[in-house]
Amino acid sequence: MATSLLAPVAYISVLVTAMAIFSRIYRRRKAVAKTSFTPYFPTHPARDIYVSLLSNSPPTPDNLLKSALLARAIVDIQRLAQLRDDKMALNNLHTRGLIGDDTMARFAAAEKELEAEVLDVVSEANSFKQGWGQFVFGTASEAAQAEKTRNTVMNMHVIRQMEEKRLERRNKYLNLSSTAQLPATPNAPAVLTPKASTPSPQALPEVPQETPAANQATATVSEGVASPNGKASVGKKKGKKK
């Protein structure tokens, strides 16, 4: 009896132990994958420069520290603008299932990290002068906008070349499409222009030849018309009646 119960108990205990080990390993790997993803933004060189200047053994002048802090705030403003532009697009892509949860996790981590960075910059600015944090970010916003405008102007020729290539490809595609969709026109019937037909000599009416008798009769009629009495004079017959 004891032998018959030992086998199922051992089987169940081994199965439960294996499932517990698998679950623990899976959860650990999942947690490591969540925390080991590639950061959304690369390293922050302006922050590293400010920290290195702040930790120098000879004290760094305040004007140099303020300049480094302003450069750090400019980078933060640029990253805030990029996050604001990317947020809506990433949400739409994630709703359609085109990107995974890891990308959204990276984006959320970048937002939290940037919030902490902004608070750190404000506290560092207030350490120089109370209320200077708002002034730093206002100046950084203007500087970031000016740099964006300058980069746009400097890259105008590159943008122009890209637009010209895009328009050239578009026009080429439109020409090919219009040529492919154009129906084949049938050959137009030849228009026959009627030629002026010259009458044959046989079809012309024969003009009677003038005889001496006809000429004399015509002259007599003309004299009668031209007489002053207005009546045509009839020629008298030659010879007397018998």
Q: What is the pLDDT of residues 138-172, one digit of tens each?
A: 999 999 999 889 888 888 888 888 889 889 888 88
The two counts, helices (H) then strands (E), for the chain are: 7, 0
Using CA atoms, how far apart are residues 129 and 50, in angstroms rounded to an integer? Answer: 17
Q: Give pLDDT tens digits for 16-26.
A: 898 989 888 88
Six-digit token string for 26? 């899976």
Sign of the CA dihedral running 71, 72, 75, 80: negative
User: For position 125, what pLDDT does the model report?
Assistant: 92
Would residue 138 count as lying in a domain? yes
Where is pLDDT greater, at 22 or 230? Answer: 22
Note whether residue 121 is domain-resident: yes
Q: Does residue 153 form part of some domain?
A: yes
Q: What is the pLDDT of residue 193?
A: 52
Cβ neighbours of residue 76 under 8 Å, at least 6 residues apart?
A: 114, 117, 118, 121, 140
Report the pLDDT value the prediction gives residue 158, as an integer from 0 to 100: 86
Supply the range of the domain harboring residue 78: 42-179
pLDDT at 6: 76
- Evaluate whether residue 28 is within a structural domain: no
Question: What's the mean per-residue pLDDT of the chain?
Answer: 76
Does 96 reside within a domain? yes
Tokens at 12, concatenated: 């169940």
Helices 101-128, 132-154: axis angle to 10 degrees equals 120
Q: Is residue 185 part of a domain?
A: no
Residue 51 counted as domain residue: yes
Q: For residue 228, give both structure tokens.
A: 């002053």
Mean pLDDT value across residues 74-93:
92
Give this prediction's pTM.
0.55
pLDDT at 214 over 50: no
Number of domains into which the chain is organized: 1
Rounded Cα distance between 49 and 64, Å, is 11
218 pLDDT more than 70: no
CA distance 129 to 142: 20
Would residue 221 count as lying in a domain? no
pLDDT at 224 over 60: no
